Amino acid sequence: MRLLRKYMFIGIPALLAVLSALPAPLMTASAGAEQALEVYNPAGVRQDGTYVDKLLKQVMKATGKTRPELAAVFPEGRVEKVTIKKDASEEINALFYRRGWGDGLPIIPPTADRVREMLTGTDLPPDRVIATMPPKGGQATVEKIAVNATMAGCRPEYMPLLIAAVQAVAEPRFNLSELATSTSHDAPLIIVNGPIARQLEISGGSNALGRGWRANATIGRAVELIINNVGGSWPGVNDMSPLGSTMEFANCIAENQEASPWSPLHVEFGHGEGSNAVTVVASESFQTVIGLGLTPNQFLDLLGDRLVGLNTGYLPALLIILNVDSANILKGGGFSKEAVKKHIAERARIPFSEYKKRYLSVEDRGVMVPEAVRKIMDPNTMVGSPIIDQFLILVAGGPPGEKSVIVPIWPGSKPVSKEIKVPGNWEEMLKRAKR
């Protein structure tokens, strides 16, 4: 209870979902007695056997950082025995926090039994390396993913999705190495398509980006813990974001395919419409756009006007999450998904004279602007603001609403989509999970 009281006012949307996953106390030592509990180490190990924590400790020494206070202080090995004096959950939480292995919220201690249970969610061997995780190059083995998934409060059946998500964020074009150490306020957004979203109860409906959904909260949290612990991205040490983002606690959503009037997002990445896929984008922020009382054309004009207000000259990708009501109204007005993109892009334009003043006349603002734009001579030529390489639309949210969001993508990253491969006993696993 002391641990719960300590965090109950933190105000993070994922907190309720995570706390709901907390089990009964692991162990309470009797008065005057000490007991040993085996827990798994969540930290990343590089191919040469070096723990990423050791590298982070070097950064701390070089920059005068003193937090986390027990950085790189732990017995090397997959499992360690922790001496419990009174309450296992509270003591392991305190120990892991001081080592830098967490996000500030309570974690589920990764005991041997719990990690073993988490590994039943995949038929891959525990030592299989799924990806080398930036920024410090820890190897994300199946076991390390399971350890961090346990800490986040995940269920075993989430493992196939987490494995695919780890593969996606580790892709070079996603650029996690810079994303996880930049000064931007960003975080990977995990987007799920296919039957698996319904099977795992990942919300693409009401409050999908908010509290109340265990799968959304813990899957998003697990990916962040893997980046923190296995990849070696520590806030204030090598993650240099001045403010950070609450998206780093839980940032996962499913597309509401059943209610969408158009083909789903993952089809644009080459997946079959009925397949399972996870797509990751480096989301910078969510900006609400309200369509209540507007005609389809007026609503799209408003979206275009808001893009001009992003105050960035170029984006490798942009995501708009359209509420189901808004998507259906647009479809009823004769708009296909491609027509929606075209209308918005044509609206989001400004004269080159203004574009030049905003982006090309300010140091570092126009670094990624295409050369063809730089060569424009006519000041009245209309230019996209921003210029967008890849325009993505996701249909999600529950009615009533007509409230959608613009999600700018961090300029150094490109979206990545991966197929989710379920194990051979998938149906049996789902049945077992419902018992």
Residues of the chain with pLDDT under 70: 1-32, 363-367
Q: Taking every pair of C-alpha atoms in the chain, what is the biggest distance, in angstroms?
A: 83
User: Using an 8 Å Cβ cutoff, are 226 and 133 in contact?
Assistant: yes
What does the pLDDT read at residue 398?
A: 80
Candidates 29, 136, 152; CA nearest to 83 is: 29
What does the pLDDT read at residue 401?
A: 75
What does the pLDDT read at residue 312?
A: 87
What does the pLDDT read at residue 10?
A: 41
In DSSP terms, which residues pair with 264 in a beta bridge? Answer: none
The two three-digit tokens of residue 395, written as one number? 């249909």
The two three-digit tokens of residue 146, written as one number? 């399971």
What does the pLDDT read at residue 369?
A: 85
